[in-house]
Amino acid sequence: MSITAHPADLVERTGGTVANHIARGDEVMFVSLTTGVVTHAFNVFSETGDDKLKDVDKVKEMKRQELLRACNVLGVKKWEFLDFPENPMIFDYDQYATVVRLIREFKPDVVLCPHPTEYGRFDHMDAGRFVVACVDYARADGFDSPLAPHMVKDVFMFYYLDFRTDQLMGNPRHSPGVIVDITDVIETKSDALMEFNATQVREGVDEQKLRKLFADSVDGNAGYTHGFGYAEQYVRLNVEKGPYLPLA
């Protein structure tokens, strides 16, 4: 289960990893906590006016359709498009109960989410903290829910290089402990990202070129660092335990 702040984040941060698992026959679920209309709808709303957001419901539907098409490209069959408050993200009990329910229903082995200190959009940090908490609440016997508790085996947080993230922590982060080779599915991931163009194309920007730059500078740099083409990187929340060194 991949849970992110905005719809496009699901593909941008975990699209390659998810494509690999789907190809292997694993079941995957996407959860976007917000519609993304505040942060990921460029050139859609007018700049000024009391009625500038009069079409907000229409734009939310556009974002939902973008996520649907991206899921179809990747082969994701299960997904949730939530409408939590965005920028800033404000969570109350109902939001926690919603995501705890989704976790208990889907019963994921692992959850992918933003790192709680990931700089960029503050929604990413808020989403990371929120998801880690929901994973913990989902296993609690006393949480008010008719569904049985579910223990998620592991949480993997996206790892993006950014000095400002380290500044927020006050010290350098742990290096990414899990590197996923997405070389064989980079084109699929890129195609899925292009499905968000209807709302995310900035005026005067070559989106195709921008997506290629993203793939090369982020996923390509991660792959090059670890000896292959393209990669997605994660920090593991729980320390891996074992009686022997990982020699495989």
pLDDT at 170 over 80: no
* pLDDT tens digits, 110-131: 999 999 988 877 899 999 999 9
Domain definitions of the chain by residue range: 2-236
What integer pLDDT is reported at residue 55 of this predicted model? 85
Average pLDDT, the chain: 91
pLDDT tens readout for residues 134-145: 999 999 999 989
| Domain 2-236 CATH class label | alpha beta
8 Å CB contact between 200 and 44: no
Task: Note the pTM of the prediction, 2 decimals.
Answer: 0.92
What is d(CA 65, CA 69) in angstroms, rounded to the nearest whole number?
6
pLDDT for the residue 108: 98
Each residue's pLDDT tens digit, 207-239:
778 778 878 889 999 999 999 999 999 999 988
Reduced 3-state DSSP string for 27-73: CCEEEECCCCCCCCCCCCCCCCCCCCCCCHHHHHHHHHHHHHHHHHH
pLDDT at 248: 64
pLDDT of residue 161: 76
